[in-house]
Chain A
Amino acid sequence: MKIDMRRQLARQPFEVKIRKVGQLIKLSATMKSSRVREEAQMTQPPSRTPDPFQGRVSKASSDPVS
């Protein structure tokens, strides 16, 4: 960021700057929690939920004649 832009930000009222710091904290927490969630999903072992279709034979395939 350009120096004059940063100086302009520096000249804002203290209350405004403190609110911005609060927003930065919230943003940082949001980014952290979404990163943790993504990492957890990437390292998660393959799902052990049984495939509802596994072992089920459709009527059509079991009885090709009909």
Chain B
Amino acid sequence: MSDDSPTIPLADVLRAANELVSAGLIEDYALGGALAAIYYVEPFTTYDADIFFVAKDKTLSAGIPGIYASLQSKGWRVEREHLLVNHFPVQFLAASGLTEEAVRNAKRIEYEGVPAKVFRPEYIVAIAASVGRHKDLARIDQMLEQAEIDRTLLDDILTRYSLDLPKP
């Protein structure tokens, strides 16, 4: 494993998302999913990046055709529900409700010099509780064990969205 070339072109993904905001195709975005969790916990294997965006276009399509067209013009390829950048799959997901609140309250970061936003840990836990698959429950355990969680904020989110954490 001497090859240092990045398998995950995250800087390219975030740069492209910033360009979508500048171009007025989306209102805001944040990194969510497993890569957002990895911001707070130990690294683990994941095979895609989830970008949650607040749509400018409030119609049913959420402006996705425009987003795809813009990214394809920059050389991204479409493969099923993913867009591929340097062979790495990225999903653009229209945020609503809890995920929209997570985007709006996301933490500002810089990744390899690219300004970006990443979900706060309390929202990652709440979203995992709302999805509730086996891997989401494992993610909650991992986040509670390794990340610094604001319990007051987490309890507030869980209460407002009628969510419960799994019993230990």
Nearest chain B CB to A5's CB is how many angstroms away?
Answer: 9
Contacts of B147 in A (CB 8 A): 10
Q: Interface SS of chain B: helix, strand, loop or mixed?
A: loop
**Binding-face segment, B4-12, B52-60, B158-166:** B4-12
**Binding-face segment, A20-28, A35-43, A48-56:** A20-28
Q: A3-B145, A6-B146 are in contact. Are A22 and B6 (CB under 8 A)?
A: yes
Q: Is the CB of A21 within 8 A of B146?
A: no
Interface size bracket, B side = 20 to 34
Contacts of A15 in B (CB 8 A): 111-112
Chain B residue at minimal CB-CB distance from A29: B7
Of the candidates A3, A6, A14, A27, which one forms a contact with B38 in the assembled complex, judged by CB atoms under 8 Å apart? A14
Q: Is the CB of A7 within 8 A of B45?
A: no
* Given A15-B111, A24-B44; 7 other pairs, CB 8 A cutoff: A15-B112, A17-B43, A18-B8, A18-B111, A21-B43, A22-B6, A22-B8
